[in-house]
Chains A and B, each alone.
Chain A
């Protein structure tokens, strides 16, 4: 092996792989565009869809990023936190839709839905931390990870037992039906609302972390929890707060997602969870801006990628492969740039 190891095999393989991938993308995109499979309007719709979807990913991704930043653990069950928020708000929205309150007072009812979803998600996240993760603090790495997987499955199936396995239709206020004309095309109103709400939430979170005392404690614990505790920071309290904030954001995402896709079901957390985690890694896990950028990029990649690249190769039903595309992006990011877009590009060892 001695001689072989002197050759930079890894680098060679990675470069070849990168060239191959770029070539595949370029050829696919070129062929799709020259064949004119989609009109300009279709591309614009893809982009708006991608951005709105990405905004939701960003909100959920923030939950992963915050927890990872502080505990260095991946909270696999975060997707289920999101799902519980969506379900809780569903029951209110269904009741309000029936009584007509939803259409009469859209702003007020939306606020209530958001508050309900945020409270539920935050509650589930805090409970999860208390019951499943806190007893494992300081345990070998594998242990909390396996726990998190189990918690994810357990929570999803708890929802299945509580609320049943059939999906339920989610009504949105009439005001949000239809679309606005914008830049010479129709943009569904709900997408605009999703983007604005998510942007607001991200800004609020950044301010919170940057300006408040709690935010400062969070940053201190993320930096070094032992020293932070010596400086008088209540580490357990900060951890709970972090989970709660992640839950609040996931709750917002839950309402926005349900209104976009007009349904809730018990397994919705899994796909969103994975996509959001991918977004967090893509942007650079541990960074708030990274989660936002990663979310939007992933949304765009998902919306544009399959049609732009796969159509060029005449692969049937490219959208079926959309999720596979997500995972592929994740794998490639981790191989080529484990630190993410905003990261250092260095693989974290150990």
Chain B
């Protein structure tokens, strides 16, 4: 196995086993057991059985430093090492399944509620533990071997395979959106998809081939295409405008194609995109970690409800709140945004001279105070307490109500575009550069004559205003408010959206919202694992790829500068240098995250 020793392969195999065990115990494997991705055999659950040994095989064949010399495993060595490690992972997992069966599923179940006879059946492929053990071991061997081979293969081979596989799985996951859209376009979905399930096998092969082929082409000539596009775009601004218009056109036809249910999900995606854009200003641009963003969200929603004449829910019916106006949505939303900016300054002023982590805790606390207040009896006469409010305006223009999901999408799209525009203009303005300087080194920024207090407050105000608009739109979307919608999880979700895409990156926020809000929204199986996924995403991104999926260029440079400065960080990063350069590890990990 070349540079990979037996002991380290066994250790890697055991870690792979822990991965499989975790997925099974936390309930993901069984939850997705029947989610067919490709054909009837390849389900997401089975993918989750294969993935840990695959990753084990991939990781174990990484180049190692032996006696000061960097040694790269050859293809054969890497596949052997990978297969060995994957086989260990599979075999130990199979043994664990057999042990569970022998020990008594019911007894284990008293502790781990997810261990059930169904799970055991699924893990043994309904063949009994002995055969199941063999199957799991063989699958582990194969997956690990493939992982090792992938790692050893040149990136020209690896990238198309990984991209092809990812796209195929993604299309499989989108089984509830693409067929609907195809039907709207008068296409027959059965070309691609089995009835109410994943891709057909031939379709999967075609998709894989197309995606892989596209990737090969892109690798070969993408650079030139991009360069040529940049050149033309800079000579003729009309090209850039055309591209923007095209994106806009696609964005605005989506709800017509996908129907009501998915438009509903898209509406939520838009609201969180707005929250992400707002938080991106605070965290990404100014570098202030705000964990109480839900405060602005709640403020926006409730303030809008009160300004537009919503009523309180009570046990006996509706009641007028202690304070209420009857303004139009289009006036109130700006009032709300302005008020929220003020609140941002008020919250920010006393705490801004504190260190970053204190700021995080204080904002977390303020966010919690707001969500406790929304459900308290004390403020019940104003915001309805636990029963909440109803009858929020539907922001109608003439006869067009914006409550129906497809219409709401357009309203939200308008505000998202506005927020994107503002963020984009801010990022390269004097203000944006001041934020950058402040984030990179506050004392130096101060010394250069930047009023850090002023710019911090400005970031808080801007972020607060955008977050409150998000809240206002949310109120319009659902029409009635209950405190359950305004919990700490909103803050963390918004943070995950920003972090996944990359701090300070606008396209990153868009992608983050689509992936983190859109995918779980489309697959209801994900619902109960949403928080687990968000938590896992935050950790995985920060440890593996702190600049995010679509990094902000300047921000990346900054992260790397600090790497050079701080050698411990640099050393650990250097070990991962190779996968970074090819982006493949990032992709597989994200794929894992997405599917877990």
Contacts and interface: CB of A to CB of B under 8 A. Distances in A.
A and B part of one assembly: yes
Interface of A: 1, 73-74, 91, 94, 132, 135-147, 149-158, 160-164, 270, 274, 277-278, 281, 315-317, 320-321, 323-324, 326-328, 330-331, 334-335, 338, 347-350
A91 B111 contact: yes
Contact of A350 (B289, B442, B488): B442
Please indicate which of the listed interface residues A136, A138, A320 has the most CB atoms of chain B within 10 Å of its own CB: A138
Contacts of A347: 353-354
A76 to B, nearest CB: 8
Interface in B374-416: 375-378, 380
A160 to B, nearest CB: 8
Contacts of A135: 543, 572
B39 interface: no
Contacts of A323: 368, 372
Contact of A154 (B113, B362, B532, B566): B532
Contact of A320 (B377, B539, B542): B377
A137 B537 CA distance: 19
Contacts of A334: 351, 354, 358, 361-362
Nearest to B376: A320
Contact of A161 (B27, B350, B354, B368): B27
B368 A327 contact: yes
A146 B357 CA distance: 10
A213 B587 CA distance: 46
Question: From DSSP, what is the main secondary structure of chain B's interface residues?
Answer: helix
A151 B539 contact: yes
B307 interface: no
A160 B362 CA distance: 27
A324 B373 contact: yes
B310 interface: no
Contacts of A327: 365-366, 368-369
Nearest to A91: B111
Contact of B495 (A74, A132, A149): A149
Interface of B: 22, 25-28, 110-114, 283, 287, 289, 291, 350-351, 353-358, 360-362, 364-366, 368-369, 372-373, 375-378, 380, 442-443, 451, 488, 492, 495-496, 499, 503, 529, 531-532, 534-539, 542-543, 546, 558-559, 562, 566-569, 572
Contacts of B536: 150, 154
B546 A139 contact: yes
24 contacts: A91-B111, A132-B539, A138-B569, A143-B546, A145-B289, A149-B291, A150-B537, A150-B542, A151-B539, A153-B532, A154-B535, A158-B532, A160-B531, A160-B532, A161-B529, A162-B112, A162-B113, A162-B114, A164-B113, A274-B365, A281-B358, A323-B368, A334-B358, A348-B354
B216 to A, nearest CB: 33
Given A274-B368, A320-B378, A149 B443 contact: no
Given A149-B495, A153-B538, A335-B350, A142 B289 contact: yes
A163 B112 contact: yes
A349 B532 contact: no
Nearest to A321: B376
B26 A158 contact: yes
Nearest to A323: B372
Contacts of B566: 138-139
Contacts of A151: 535, 538-539
Contact of B499 (A144, A146, A316): A146
Nearest to B496: A150
Nearest to A326: B365
B492 A149 contact: yes
